[in-house]
Amino acid sequence: MKIALAVLCALTVAACQSESTPAPAKDKAATPEQQSADDEPATSQNLFQNPSFEAGREPWFSLAGPQNQFWADFERTDARAKKGKHSALLRMTSEGHLPQVRVYGVIADYERHPLPTKITGYYRVENWQRGTERQYVQVVVAVNGAQNMPEPGIPTQLAWVLTGIDEPPFEIRNRRFIFVGPKQPTLDEWVRFELPVREGFERSWGAVPDPYESVRVFFEARYDEREPTDGLVQADVYFDELFLGD
């Protein structure tokens, strides 16, 4: 039953993210990159537009919609900010929703080549109530049409789990995981993260994607494989001062 449910959930997530049938992915290259230092952001060009959410929501988006029942939207809020007056808030809850999977995301696309060196930013967790085992915060880089990856027809993905879990939440063929933070979140503080994108792909997938068509970056709070008998999932997760570049 447990295995069957795991497959079901992996499949449903795959479907809502246009991915493919899950299969083993056992990479667990865990090099802590998380820092709490209050560093200044890099001075090179930031490829994220509106990276501090001070200019509204755009061009950030989510995949929430009637056809994507597992996806939930983000809010732009002035309740917390690492920089300026606003940030993106993922108000995660299992209340009133289907039990198994729910993904709260704030997302950006870009098409620049070559693949940028890094992503940096800050996240903040408040009101964390662990209702299920696979409840976590992550950043996913999904590269579309990468010709030197095993399956160019589906997105090649690398997920950096910032906090919440310390092993892959499910098996999926086109996503590999790197764990960069504690299983138990640091609460009520902005936590800096720095994710070496090119190095991560080289280590986890054996090469930097090149050439490719486009890249989608997901900042997510989510839970997977929640059982109907599990407890209430809750967390407020903020992201701010995001940077993508070299």
Our CB check for Ca ion shows the closer of 46 and 100 to be 46
Our CB check for Ca ion shows the closer of 19 and 240 to be 240
3-state helix, strand, coil in the chain (%, to 5): 10, 35, 55
Closest distance of CB 240 from Ca ion, Å: 4
Closest distance of CB 82 from Ca ion, Å: 6
Closest distance of CB 51 from Ca ion, Å: 8
Which residue's entry shows tokens 């952001």? 41
Residues at the interface with Ca ion (CB under 5 A) = 52-53, 81, 83-84, 86, 240
Our CB check for Ca ion shows the closer of 122 and 136 to be 122
CA pair distance 196, 92, nearest whole angstrom: 27
Our CB check for Ca ion shows the closer of 57 and 83 to be 83
* Residue 210 burial class via C-beta count within 10 angstroms: exposed 0-12, middle 13-18, buried 19 and up: middle
CA nearest to 116, candidates 181, 174, 194: 194
CA nearest to 170, candidates 155, 183, 159: 159
Our CB check for Ca ion shows the closer of 168 and 245 to be 245
The pair of three-digit structure tokens given for residue 159, joined into one six-digit string:
């997920």
Most distant CA pair in the chain, distance = 51
> What order of strands is seen across the sheet that includes strand 71-72?
71-72, 102-110, 214-223, 135-144, 156-163, 175-179
Q: Give me the residue whose beta carbon is nearest to Ca ion.
A: 52
Our CB check for Ca ion shows the closer of 126 and 171 to be 126
The pair of three-digit structure tokens given for residue 199, joined into one six-digit string:
């190095």
DSSP code string of 31-76: ----B---PPPPSSPP-SSSTTSTT-STT-B---BTTBTTEE--EE
Closest distance of CB 103 from Ca ion, Å: 23
Closest distance of CB 242 from Ca ion, Å: 9
Closest distance of CB 142 from Ca ion, Å: 24
